[in-house]
Structure 1
Amino acid sequence: MKRLLASLALLLLPVAGTAFAECKDTSNYADARAIVRDLDRIVAPGGVQESYKMRIGGVDHWVNARGQDRANPVLLFVHGGPASPVTPTLWQFQRPIEEYFTVVNYDQRGAGRTYVEDHSAAVGDSLRIERYVDDAIELAEQVRKRYGKRKLVLMAHSWGTLIGMRAALKRPDLFYAYVGIGQVIDVRENERLSFDYGLQQAKVHGNAAAVKELESIAPYPGDRPITRERIVVARKWAQYYGGLSAFRDASDYFFKAPLLSPDYEDRDRCAVDEGNMFTLGRVLDEFLAVDQRGVRSFPIPVLMFMGRHDYTTPSAPTEAWLRAVDAPYKRGIWFEHSAHMIPWEEPGKTVLRLVQYVLPLAKDADAEKP
């Protein structure tokens, strides 16, 4: 049951039977982590490399900030999940982005090291989407003061896009632009598209067992409740056929990344799955009701990074939303060799598009500063 819940708690990254790095003594990985730590050191005199706690919404949140030049714009990243912190995977993809931005990540309430700090009943009772949104806003306000910035770039992935989009709508004055990766627009439509893809691929590959399992929950989502068990079946096969990581039937590179992370201790690695289980049941119903198609106007520049093969949060609803929305600037960018894990799957193109399209928005705005 623990492993089932852990996979489900990665609502936008679930692979049935898959959990993050095993909760165990990882001292045998210490030498490898030391190499990663040394490579990851920010040695530039004007650089930023900090890990600290910040009090947000009554809870101590762990924050990680890294960049080669303190003068660069700050990019605030909202991780997915829920309760799937990106901090223990930063060593895999983030260093090139740090050449152009000071990147600030944080473990959300109930996630990772923030879960370790406080997983009381009071925190559990506070796990609502709007509370996460207010946390992101409060964090943005404190971060811009800490680093002497007027505004930040806001970027979010997967579950984090629910938080990021709403934070941008609620406090556009804090942000130069919003970048959604694996954006969530309409959860029920995402579930339908994901299921249809998994079933179609199972038939193409002659996988009778998968077809039987998928047809057992059809029509999906249909009019029946979207239960945890139905989600596991639907997502399992879509992701097996590359809907999480394109052209891969598994994503161990991501789930086992914490084993080599220099930013997490063993108790923090254990806390990833513990935070998943702590969070899932409290946010599932609210998450399943999310439908942001009614957002027809966006107050700041908005960019969507869309994986061509994403059947975890399928890109078609995002493309349709972007065509219809009115915004001061909007751009959709397709990643042809990616599914849901764009920064990991196409890190070079991720950096290139951030520099090409996002960096000028922050620099131009700074140039206008009186």
Structure 2
Amino acid sequence: MKKLWLICGALLVLACSGAAAQELPDPYAKARAIVEDLGRITAPTGVQDSYKTRIGGVDQWLSVRGQDRANPMILFVHGGPASPVTPTMWQFQRPIEEYFTVANWDQRGAGKSYGETDPDKVAGTIRIERYVDDAIEVAEHLKARYGQRKLVLMGHSWGTIIGMRAALKRPDLFHAYVGVGQVLDVRENERISFDYAMARATRENNTEALKEMGTIAPYPGDQPITRERIIVARKWPQHYGGLSAFRSDSGYFFRGPLLSPEYTPGQVKDIDKGSVLTLGRVLPEFLQVSFAAVKRFPIPVVMFVGRHDYTTPAAPTVAWMEQVDAPYKRVVWFERSAHMIPWEEPGKTLVSLLEFVRPLVR
């Protein structure tokens, strides 16, 4: 079956339609049952909630898990747009749940939320500011429902755009902000990513890559970043490990929903449908995103940075962190990661949350 390349915010997603969209054979159901049993929270102090609630006028899904309700809560804002973490959280999140309660939110038009509202109704609301207001409303809901004074706000990829803007708009809701694969300046990110792939392809004499990238060079240059150009520009950095370090593909992530106990086979199909719904509508806004002009950040900010990330390259984020004024700031390097830090280095992700983020909860 034909593969569909999608730009998921700051993340190039290879949506393997033949894998994720087909009817799931019986063996997947048995495997999902094992994953579900392993992840079941049985501690009397724990929480394991999966539910939908009205956010921004539409029903959106939340998954809230942790071993102790008294722990601090993380609101994780997923990438994409429309690339939810909920169906792959089983791959890395369980140890974090011993120290934090983690809320994963399927954004409007994404994952399980996609099937709750007529896509035609959602389509007209696909704007960055609407996502930001949703995030704020989700945070207020979680605070009230779980008795939290404030939350830790953690964004990944596309979710860092929503997260940064939410923190700037409503800093009173959050102890700290954690950016993972931070989108800092889209045009600069695109340039660095493309130059990296060109250099690798030149060094390895990859004539196919050089020919294809040559059709859009110089990139981004002074030309508009069209959907067609960005697809070519993202393909080859991913091939050279810019999405998952030392890997040319990320099948663990794209096929991971097949084993998720949180998702039905139909909801797995909806992941791709959500990407199609949101991509074209949000792309023009996404391409204009830059936080370079933000000189002061109102809450502590911690950046988790993959040394090999050429989906959202580190240099603009590191340069911004050097000049920004914030109550606390820290850059944490992940030497064996590219863009998918929690999946690539789950142990260091946990240790870094405990060492650099947990003390900020006061």
Same fold by TM (over 0.5)?
yes
Quick check: 1:64–1:105 contact (8 Å CA) kept in 2? yes
Query: In structure 2, the residue corresponding to 1:126 is in which secondary structure?
Result: coil
AA partner of residue 89 (structure 2) = L
Offset of residue 14 of structure 1: 1.5
AA partner of residue 8 (structure 1) = L
AA partner of residue 32 (structure 1) = A
Question: In the TM superposition, what whole-angstrom CA distance separates every residue of 1:125-159 from its partner, at most 9, and x where no partner exists?
Answer: 01100000000000100101111011000000000
CA distance in 2, matches of 1:200, 1:79: 30
Query: In structure 2, the residue corresponding to 1:242 is in which secondary structure?
Result: coil
Match of 2:338 in 1: 339
AA partner of residue 199 (structure 1) = M
Residues 25, 19 of structure 1: alpha-carbon distance in 2 compared, 3 angstrom cutoff: closer
**Structure 1: unaligned runs, 5 residues or longer:** 366-370
Residues 133, 113 of structure 1: alpha-carbon distance in 2 compared, 3 angstrom cutoff: same
Residues 326, 213 of structure 1: alpha-carbon distance in 2 compared, 3 angstrom cutoff: same
Offset of residue 3 of structure 1: 4.1
Offset of residue 229 of structure 1: 1.4
- Report percent identity of matched pairs: 66
TM-score (norm 2): 0.97
CA distance in 1, matches of 2:42, 2:299: 34
CA distance in 1, matches of 2:243, 2:290: 21
Residues 20, 222 of structure 1: alpha-carbon distance in 2 compared, 3 angstrom cutoff: farther
AA partner of residue 61 (structure 1) = Q
Match of 1:138 in 2: 137
Question: In the TM superposition, what whole-angstrom CA distance separates every residue of 1:257-290 from its partner, at most 9, and x where no partner exists?
Answer: 0000000001100000000000011100000011
Offset of residue 2 of structure 1: 7.8
TM-score (norm 1): 0.95
CA distance in 2, matches of 1:231, 1:218: 11
**Structure 2: unaligned runs, 5 residues or longer:** none
Match of 2:8 in 1: 10
Offset of residue 22 of structure 1: 2.1
Query: In structure 1, the residue corresponding to 2:229 is in which secondary structure?
Result: helix
CA distance in 1, matches of 2:299, 2:13: 34
Match of 1:24 in 2: 22
Match of 2:359 in 1: 360
Q: For 1:1-370, list aligned pairs within 5 A.
A: 3-4=3-4, 7-15=5-13, 18=16, 21-26=19-24, 27-362=26-361, 365=362
AA partner of residue 361 (structure 1) = L
CA distance in 2, matches of 1:115, 1:128: 16
CA distance in 1, matches of 2:15, 2:274: 17
Offset of residue 15 of structure 1: 4.7
Q: Give me the CA root mean square deviation.
A: 1.3
Offset of residue 98 of structure 1: 0.3
Quick check: 2:60–2:105 contact (8 Å CA) kept in 1? yes
Offset of residue 54 of structure 1: 1.1
Quick check: 1:21–1:258 contact (8 Å CA) kept in 2? no
Greater alpha carbon shift after TM alignment, 114-123 vs 201-210 = 114-123
Query: In structure 1, the residue corresponding to 2:74 is in which secondary structure?
Result: strand
Offset of residue 191 of structure 1: 0.6
